[in-house]
Structure 1
Amino acid sequence: MKTWIDGALQGQAEAYEQLVTQFRGMALAVAYQKLGDTFLAEDVVQEAFTEAFANLSKLDKPDAFPGWFKVIVERQCYRLMRRKQHGTVPVLEIEDVIQEENQAHNPEEQALKGEVHRLLRDSISNLPTSMQLAVELFYFQGYSLKEMSEFLGVNVPALKKRLYDARSRLRRSLPVADVISVFSDLYEGGKGMLHIMNGDHAADRLRQSGIQGEILVWRELYTFGPITKNMRNEKERSERAQYLEHHLGIPQTEYLKIKQLEQTLKSFHQHEEIVLWFEYDLYDQAMLSYLLHYFREQDLKNTKLNLLCIDNYPDIEHFRGLGQLTPSQIGRLSGTWHVMGAEEIQAGSEFWAAYASSDIQDHKDYLLKNTSVLPFAHAAFKAHLSRLPSVSNGLGIIEQSTLEAIREGVNSPYPLFKHVGDQLHILGMGDLEYWAHLKRMTEEPHALLQLSGVQAFPNFQQHHDEFRHAVFSLTELGIQVLNGEVDWALLRHDTSYTSWIGGLQIGEEEDKLWRWDTVNGNVVIL
């Protein structure tokens, strides 16, 4: 918001356009509610924007623009009403915004749908004014609850209550089995929306929630294996596929299905809106940044890009991800996303460029950037770098936490995964990734751990029931490293093992100089 206001004050045409695009629909809804005439509402909104831009320098706080502009719209309405000598303004039907591209495709179906929509509009006109406006802005205009709250000066819970009450009343008045289906061609769902998220479990919950629209589950693991800025390079993609198959057991054919996802993503212009569903941890932030890097290079045209990114949920003490939520809980998140501006998209692209860089200086520099426009980016990037060998003993944060847990007596695989996963929840680490780290810690000639009771680790293709009963113990070297007597990273340079932390390749000669300072929270180049 501040970027748009500052740009408009400097006379930037693009900033004016952003403000008009963002608030025109809301303004029209408010004006129509007052005047009951589409053409008069258009005139009022045009006058309101003229007045707002002329007085923009009087606005003390940019974040106050939505409410301030609403007051201007209402004032323009009252001026017009006085000029026209309207004593009262009747509440008329909401303008029909549902236009089928091909009315003749299925005449009977179109006639039935048209009748239902007519009944819907008639029923909406009988709702209290506050409910009418909420329905208009949310379902017909497509604004999120957060945007509506800022514009109307009404808190989000109150708006949710209005929409709930409106649906309840409509359910009683409309002769249809499921009133939500009536709205399926409007904002909350329908063919116009694409939801992008990770995790099939969370996607299933989203489908069950009643939120309509197409769902694209993005299946990638940007926290493991070789990463480059352009992940679509065929040669590097093939090398990544081989690496993931070797270390995680993911068949190359399975991984290369990412090409199909990319083809689906390319057709994003078929959708009026995209909602990115992500969380606070490194796993999600890396994926989000990759997608924002992609969208920054595209011409979005009329497609609206939205973001829902959370680190908590009411009544869930230890929130770890959307997969924890029930369909009903996910349903309550509907509309709480916000439209992303150019500044946010650019910030996501910068995260990815730094994360995927093979130059340690780019990673260091990113830590110094102001990333507040993406509130979870800094903590996630810091967690990313904490995986580097530490200055004290050459262990990354995953190895350090694992050895400490085993020393404390947590020595079987699944309790160990839960313990370390909870402690390092900022990483968002999955079990396959963790098993790969554990396996590396048991490998000779510099093994930190000894595994008893089983010979093999599970992977993408193989799940061993006996692995549950395995026991880990510290080797003599593991104890020495944990005590800071030996530097594990220096020892491992004698082997040919190579790993990646983002775009940084660990195992090359120069990375002996890269260390993470756990005390000061920064990268040290020795």
Structure 2
Amino acid sequence: MTTLPRPDATSHGRFNLEQQRKRAKELLKAARADDPDALARLLRHIPPRETPLRLADAQFVIARECGFPSWPRLKAHIESLDASRRLVSGRGDRDMTTLHIRCGSDIEHTLRTAGFQGDFLEFSDPFCIGPVQNLPPAELMRTRAHFLASAFDMTERDSLARLRKSYEALNDLEQYERVVLWFEHDSYDQLILAYLLHRLHTNLPKAKIELVVVEAIPGVERFIGIGQLAPDLLAWLWRQRRPVETSLLELGTQAWLALTADRPEPLQALIATGTPALPMMGRALSRHLQELPAPDTGLGLSEKLTLEIVRDHGPLTVGKTFSYLMREYEPLPYLGDLMFWWQIQPLVTAPQAVLAISDIHREWPHRRLALTDLGRAILEGSRNWLEHASSERWVGGVRVLAPGRTSRPATIGRR
């Protein structure tokens, strides 16, 4: 679950048809007046020709700039959004007592704005970081609470209280006729989804279980997560929800057991199947495995990308480093900003650090990072981070040990 600001329609996904018609007319007028910017925009999508420009040409260019192959496709999508908004406004989720489950609070207000009235449950235990083991729910909750308290500077009591509300709510689903899971394609979401499917598979409620799952939105240039979308897009996604069938529940259990294994081979075997019940889960699990240390550098992919960003653009602030990671470097964005800040701590606090940090009197997003000589050598493959790391970390159920380890750490193939 990751979100970034929503400055325009190519980010939040809500296009206005009249506005796009106006833009097309303005583009055509400017091109006929030989405006160089307008002509350049047209030439990016229409080859030079002798015949005069028409409004249809300008509309085609506007559609392409919005991320659609043609003006009719853009128009049809906008009309579908309008129809979805009317449907949710008129009926929405009011035909059944409904619980919406999401791995964060990012869409709770947007659902209300769109017209949904069902209950909302946030289940946001970030299984993409820290130890993840196949334990009974109460024991898993306590293990995770201990980790999260240490990672995010809170008391274990507060951490446990935050988790208890969501974990225990899964035992109280009988009051609902419908449970709807809202998730996207990244490993943060998909690992939580795997656990929820596993729990539902283990103790199937009477409620109808449905899934809204998405990895791309028409017209959205870089889809990061559902939280970036406008209310009408949630209404549009609602119409595309699917029933959760036995095969998907079984996949959830398979993924959870593989994720919590103490070696990577079970997860690799599951990924090799293509996870046909939900292919995006396999891709997310594959990305998760890339957090294991690479043999040549000892870095997980997030660590490697962070060092590359600081090498390419640094020195720069932690906040800008995170922005580069999310917008340009990360192939499947999944980290939140606090998770990123936690994740880079070993890189800056080790006795031999790979990142130097300055301006420590400022709030952490404004502190500056620079690559050390050791960090550069590790990126080049002449040194290995595991020889210098001063703390252990976990990738699901796999423990990546620090110096003084008694067993060889699991690694993933060179990338």
State the TM-score, normalized to the length of structure 1.
0.59
1:464-514 deviations in Å (ceiling 9; x for gaps): 53x34321111121111111111111333xx4x221111111117466342
Aligned partners of 1:378, 1:447: CA distance in 2, in Å? 34
Rate the CA distance shift 1:332–1:162 in 2: closer, same or farther, 3 A. closer
Query: 1:320 aligned to 2:224?
Result: yes
Preserved CA contact (<8 Å) 1:202 1:323 = yes
Q: How far has the Cα of 1:334 moved from its partner?
A: 2.1
Preserved CA contact (<8 Å) 1:498 1:507 = yes
Aligned partners of 2:378, 2:346: CA distance in 1, in Å? 15
2:399 corresponds to: 505
Alignment of 1:287-436 (within 5 A): 287-301=192-206, 303-410=207-314, 411-422=316-327, 423-424=329-330, 426-436=332-342
Alignment of 1:111-260 (within 5 A): 180=89, 183=91, 188-189=93-94, 192-230=97-135, 232-234=137-139, 237-256=141-160, 257-260=162-165
Aligned partners of 2:406, 2:270: CA distance in 1, in Å? 20
Aligned partners of 2:346, 2:190: CA distance in 1, in Å? 25
1:143-202 deviations in Å (ceiling 9; x for gaps): xxxxxxxxxxxx99988777778x7xxxxxxxxxxx946x4xxx6336511110122121
Query: 1:490 aligned to 2:387?
Result: yes
User: Which 5+ residue runs of structure 1 have no aligned equivalent?
Assistant: 1-154, 168-178, 456-463, 520-526
Q: How far has the Cα of 1:332 moved from its partner?
A: 2.2
211-220 vs 271-280, which deviates more?
211-220
Which amino acid in structure 2 is aligned with residue 418 of structure 1? S
Aligned partners of 2:185, 2:304: CA distance in 1, in Å? 22
Query: 1:443 aligned to 2:349?
Result: yes
Q: How far has the Cα of 1:338 moved from its partner?
A: 0.6
Which amino acid in structure 2 is aligned with residue 379 of structure 1? R
Rate the CA distance shift 1:433–1:511 in 2: closer, same or farther, 3 A. farther
Rate the CA distance shift 1:158–1:449 in 2: closer, same or farther, 3 A. closer
Preserved CA contact (<8 Å) 2:182 2:213 = yes
Which amino acid in structure 1 is aligned with residue 377 of structure 2? Q
1:335-392 deviations in Å (ceiling 9; x for gaps): 2101111001111221111111113332232232230211211111111111111022
Rate the CA distance shift 1:164–1:514 in 2: closer, same or farther, 3 A. closer
Rate the CA distance shift 1:469–1:164 in 2: closer, same or farther, 3 A. closer
Rate the CA distance shift 1:444–1:269 in 2: closer, same or farther, 3 A. same
Give the secondary-structure state (helix, strand or coil) at the position aligned to 1:418: helix
Preserved CA contact (<8 Å) 1:188 1:334 = no
Identity %: 26
Rate the CA distance shift 1:478–1:162 in 2: closer, same or farther, 3 A. closer
Aligned partners of 1:404, 1:180: CA distance in 2, in Å? 47
Give the secondary-structure state (helix, strand or coil) at the position aligned to 1:516: coil
Aligned partners of 1:481, 1:369: CA distance in 2, in Å? 34
* More helix by percentage: 1
Preserved CA contact (<8 Å) 1:190 1:213 = no
Which amino acid in structure 1 is aligned with residue 343 of structure 2? H
Aligned partners of 1:223, 1:294: CA distance in 2, in Å? 18
1:431-484 deviations in Å (ceiling 9; x for gaps): 1111112211012323101101115xxxxxxxx53x343211111211111111
Alignment of 1:444-463 (within 5 A): 444-454=350-360
Alignment of 1:4-153 (within 5 A): none
State the TM-score, normalized to the length of structure 2.
0.74
Counting matched residue pairs gives: 335
Give the secondary-structure state (helix, strand or coil) at the position aligned to 1:215: strand
Q: How far has the Cα of 1:269 moved from its partner?
A: 1.8
Rate the CA distance shift 1:418–1:157 in 2: closer, same or farther, 3 A. closer
Q: How far has the Cα of 1:274 moved from its partner?
A: 0.9
Q: What is the aligned-residue RMSD (CA, Å)?
A: 2.5
Rate the CA distance shift 1:382–1:297 in 2: closer, same or farther, 3 A. same
2:168 corresponds to: 263
2:186 corresponds to: 281
Rate the CA distance shift 1:239–1:220 in 2: closer, same or farther, 3 A. closer
Preserved CA contact (<8 Å) 1:395 1:488 = yes
Which amino acid in structure 1 is aligned with residue 103 of structure 2? N
Give the secondary-structure state (helix, strand or coil) at the position aligned to 2:313: coil
Rate the CA distance shift 1:401–1:180 in 2: closer, same or farther, 3 A. closer
470-479 vs 279-288, which deviates more?
470-479
Which amino acid in structure 1 is aligned with residue 200 of structure 2? F
Which amino acid in structure 2 is aligned with residue 448 of structure 1? V
Q: How far has the Cα of 1:428 moved from its partner?
A: 0.7
